[in-house]
Structure 1
């Protein structure tokens, strides 16, 4: 077995070992006291004196002999106790550090769990709304029956807006409003889905402060654009062109104003061609002057209006 130095022995000190050492110190001290008394009585015939001077000499002898020895042994016992207390305090400190670290990990895990739950709740509602959106989109995109010659609601609204062109966007919006019964429900579902994304996306910056200022200036949350892009991907060229007309408004008090701002925030016109039947359409070209350029994102059609 390797020989341990004094420092290593102190490192291995335990309450049981301390008690053992203190017992040895006490036994040694008792033995020393006994030896001193035995030596004195043996040397001086073991008789008790009646003289004060003899008792004074006896006290000086006992005190002078035992005090240094007992003080030294007491100091050793005190040092051993201090060492053990220091070790226990160090152990307590380390245990508190481990507890604090475990608490931090637990809080971090709970925080991540909470974020995961919030994300799951958001995505559950988002995909439910997306399903409703797609059903509404499908309804207006399929043939409505023999009385319409196989045309869909989208076809009928586009005919009213683009085949009988108005002189400006306001006139086109009026024409679309007259067909509100055909596509109005779809655009309301689209607006509510976009609003839900902006106000409920995890780590979002709009929340309950849904107004013009926050819609324009709030930073995007981590996956906010991803969700809006998923929604945007379901819109056809025809529907996107109608959307550009649908959100035309001139007043911040208009009920469509926030819808317009959401279109700009999420670049919903990025994939909108400015042509109909391969010909540039002036109404669609005019939307460039109405919408902020953010609405068109990185549009290839904006760079080349004749592309389709």
Structure 2
């Protein structure tokens, strides 16, 4: 119980309380010194001696009596000082820990705010581009001229690409490029949006290194596929079939190669039918040999892969 009381006193030790204790110790030491001198002179009343031996005896008496007591009091004062310093150091350590934790929480909050801001900026640009995409898509999907006989630009391009005179992907791509004035702008807009998603989506590792190695080597980051799926959802079957032809190219040196890689990265042909007017189209079936199977995702038209 006494130990607990002493520990509680140490716990409540403050600089003011320490000063009081030290003052009491000093006063007690002065009283002890006074008592020793009074006791000595009360016993030896002959006055000051001129004999060195008497002074030696006096010194031995005073030293032997006061040294242990004053040393003990000094030790207590030292222990009290050490206890107070330890408490202050512990308080400082706890305060530093609280400051570090507060700073860590602040950094976490700032990082989250920064991520949220980056995401908001990305989505603001993405949906603005998506709006431009939809306007471009609507423009080529709706007939606005009488001389087209009610056909849209997409209808005209499809007739040229999937006509009976076209027998290969190269010929189909050539026929599509001849109608580039009708749909080329739309496909360029589509490519730029996909490129924007790949390079600017939060946490993207592609960045400015927009090349084959980066497109193939960097995995999809969180929500990247979601944005591409949103864009893909606005494309009808007719546009998707033309897109499969549009991205056909000779090899990596071709300007359309990165567009083709984006088709594969985002499984952009996943919902593309391989039929036209209820019959399998040989051009659409042949694109299976050109694209990696990732371009078709979880396509329900798996039978087309048998032609590989």
* TM class by smaller structure: over 0.9
Q: Which moved more, 1:204-213 or 1:69-78?
A: 204-213
The yes-or-no answer on 1:238 pairing with 2:238 is yes
The TM-score, its normalising length taken from structure 1, stands at 0.95
Give the SS at the match of 2:68.
helix
CA–CA distance in 2 between the matches of 1:137 and 1:162? 20
In structure 2, distance between residues paired with 1:198 and 1:7:
65
How far does residue 99 in structure 1 lie from its aligned partner after superposition? 1.2
Quote the Cα distance in structure 1 between the aligned partners of 2:302 and 2:276.
14
- Maintained 8 Å contact 1:144/1:153: no
Write the deviation string for residues 159-184 of structure 1: whole angstroms up to 9, x where unpaired.
11113440101001111111100000
Q: 2:256 maps to which residue?
A: 256
More displaced 10-residue stretch of structure 1: 45-54 or 222-231:
45-54
Deviations 1:123-150 (A, max 9, x none): 1111111111111111111112211111
Contact conserved, 1:274 with 1:302, CA < 8 A, in 2? no
Moved over 2 A (4+): 301-305
Name the stretch that deviates more: 73-82 or 5-14. 5-14
Mapping 1:156-195, distance limit 5 Å: 156-195=156-195
Q: Distance in 1 between matches of 2:261 and 2:195?
A: 10
The CA distance in 2 between the partners of 1:38 and 1:204, in whole Å, is: 90
Distance in 2, matches of 1:111 and 1:195, equals: 26
2:125 maps to which residue? Answer: 125
SS at match of 2:49: coil
Structure 2: distance between partners of 1:216 and 1:165 = 36
> How far off its partner does 1:244 sit?
0.4
When the two structures are superposed, what TM-score results if normalisation uses the length of structure 2? 0.95
Indicate the RMSD between aligned Cα atoms, in angstroms.
Answer: 1.5
Number of residue-to-residue matches in the alignment: 304
Offset at residue 279 of structure 1 (A): 1.1
Q: Which runs of 5+ in 1 are unaligned?
A: none
Residue 4 of structure 1 and its aligned partner are, at CA, apart by 5.2
Matched residues in 1 for 2:46 and 2:227: separation? 104
Using the alignment, how far apart are the partners of 1:223 and 1:253 within structure 2? 30
